[in-house]
Structure 1
Amino acid sequence: MILCQLNQPDVIERAALSIVQGLERDKVNIRYLSPRDSLVGRIPLLEDELIRVGCHPYYEIGYIRRGRGIVAIEDEVFDAQAGDLFIIRPYEIHGIQPDRDDPFGMAWFSIHPHGMAGWVSTYVRRAMEGANKPIIHLERTYEFWNMLEEVLKEIAFHSFKYQVALRAELLHLFIVFIRRVKVVRGEERPLNLSEILPKQSKKRWREAVEAAMEFIRENYQQRIDLETVAGRTLLSPNYFCEVFKAETGVTFTEYVTKVRMAEAKRLLRDTNLSVSEISRKVGYESIHYFSRLFKEREGLSPSEFRGIVK
């Protein structure tokens, strides 16, 4: 667990750099503390026991990036999973218990409405107080996570504008969250988060996916693995898969197969290469696997397809 206080720039710079590196490896938990906070004592996790967090006089949002586990708020216990956001009101006793087989990674945000501008303070307080469900699920988790990464990068760059940029991004993050709360309460129509995401975030995803697609089209003859392609886009494999599916409508594996099969059909139609040679040329070492996959997709074996189109 990495702890950083936003009023200590030197600490922020060192911590944020390690956070960003960890995010790329998908191995970091983050806890944000405002300048007013003191560090909260924690009890080590024992068998069947919650990690307890002390009461505090501010709102807190917990976001589950991955994994699953149990979240307890006052006398209610919830099964939590990746994509869940939960609201902790002031002085509510709460705790977490990560699943032993698939423990969750989390980000915590402390919110002090009285330290915000007047209209923001009112907006936040009303939304938080009126939320009937303490846990809210975001379907497209990578969108929220990408916004968090943008904040961390502003901290890591530590430019002269980082304080302003950080506050602007955090405010945007909370507005997105609050809108989701209001949708759950039926006060606003459902919004696709892409409608209100920063333009640079959407552009970044599109460019990453386009680069990945180009790499696949140029290297389909070779072995292509997820880790290599994701690494070229500077995204973690899980994050990359979510973004790729959202942008293209198909999974990474489906797209690789689609490119290879399109080339296989061209070679079957336009050349006299054997099926075994074509299999190797489109990236499949096993002719049996290639033939089975081809028939599953086309309804015909490679030889039958050639007999019809050639």
Structure 2
Amino acid sequence: MSVSDNNQYLAMLDDKYPFNLFRPECNGTTIFPPHWHNDCLELIYVRQGQVELHIGGHSFIGQAGDLILIGEGVIHSGYIVDGPPDYYTILLDRSRLASSDFMNVASRSMLTGRLHLPVVLQTGNDGYEACTAIVRSIIEEYVGRRAGFELAIKSYLHVLLLELARAYGEQAGGKDARDEAAKRSMERLKEAISLIESRYTVRLTVGEAARAAGMSTYHFCRVFKHAVGRTFTEYMHLYRIGKAEALIRDTDLPITRIAEQTGFGTVQYLDELFKRYRGCTPMQLRRRPVQLTPSSRTATNPPLE
């Protein structure tokens, strides 16, 4: 897998409406594994609960009411704190969104220019009230799905981008506070994450991952834990368990076969790690009844308060 292949959600966008909204499903303790979107800006609005977030080397707990801003190409991951949070994700391709309508070059460049975004906007921060009001309107349209809701969302997104451009665009005099060396480390880390995702079925050492990132093993372990919020070994376990869980729920493959296909090798090792991270065995998980996820209840969500 090349770095560009980790642009995970671009298949969810189209030329007519180059944006999408969704309520992500949790996979055990992982809400979403480390990934990035080369061409898409992502916004997360937390409605209820908490979420452990790691974004571009910044780690924090997202709270209800927070608006999380994730720029193009920034590595980010999320994990459960106490229980699955209730939040919406907005994903949009700024260039395609701005180009899909008639507007002059100056207007388009303002919406697509470089943004120096804060990682999170909270109550009291400049721009919080304006941006969250727009985001809440977008979610209202998405949940209600009245006639023309896509066009309404598209219009709101243009206004939201304008607010962000005025506050955090290059013309606003914003400065990138991230150290350039740290940014280069984050870029090299993408190679290691892509290697993990392509090699999870076989043995992969921390030394091999470090070499893929062009770092010493010691430096790689520090950078990886800082960016992902988990050690290399912990992340490998979680990634493999996530793949195994999908096969357990969605296929009739024998557990022995699933253990082999997900890099655990033996059922005993898969059982041990499943009990550690999921609190049950793979067979116990398979016997559980299927439960509705938050995303499957989207159409009946209560209105935003």
In the superposition, the TM-score normalised over structure 1's length comes to 0.38
**Largest Rg, 1 or 2:** 1
In the superposition, the TM-score normalised over structure 2's length comes to 0.39
